[in-house]
A = this chain, B = another copy of it.
Amino acid sequence: MNDPTTMRRSPKQLRSQQRVDDILDAAARLFREVGYEAATTNAIAGQAQVPIGSLYQFFPNKESILKALAQRYTDQMRDLHARTLSPTATEGLPLAQVIGGYLQAMGEFEAAHVAFRLLFLSAEQTQTHEMQAEIIQRVDDLLAARFPLLRPERRRQAASASVGIVKGLMIISGEPATLSAEQSGDEIITALLGYIRAVLVQEALPLPPDLA
């Protein structure tokens, strides 16, 4: 009947909304600091200064907190996507600049949303799929606007792969003895441009000037 991984009650009142936000903030902090498994629901409630009973009025279980957090990030990223990836906002800009602008915004988002990295980069979390699907869709839209001749299936594949490349390089750059944070940005741009160029060549499509 009711999905045990969804929020119990969507908070209508301002006070309740504030509480849910507090809980999600605390959860984000703790997930970041000690990981999902080690973050206890009592600790989350404690950090959020919310009684444990109240936490369970909004969330039926721990997993639903993770899911709600992912949902919140997904929602909050929509504006970011509109600003940095939408065809209208990026029209005329060289691809490198678009990617750069997107990475810049993502870096800021990541800094402001402490568990985003965890959620975005952690392998196979059902909770993250929706978030990722949305990102892929935005990239797909961008590719569609940029390369109208690219077949939709190939485009979707390229969009998925592009997100995978970003993900992989972000993961790598977070680890010691690999890429520095500064390098990773440039490297992501290089890799994505190189990849997209290769796809276009494969598909025998014309290269735009900045990929030639």
Contacts and interface: CB of A to CB of B under 8 A. Distances in A.
A152 interface: no
A68 to B, nearest CB: 20
Contacts of A190: 161, 195, 198-199, 202
Contacts of A167: 168, 171-172
Given A157-B183, A161-B169, A202-B190, A175 B129 contact: yes
Interface stretch (A44-52, A76-84, A99-107, A119-127): A119-127
A209 interface: no
Interface of A is mostly: helix
A89 interface: no
Contacts of A168: 164-169, 171
Interface in A50-104: none
A111 interface: no
A169 B177 contact: no
Contacts of A160: 172, 178-179
A201 to B, nearest CB: 8
B164 A173 contact: yes
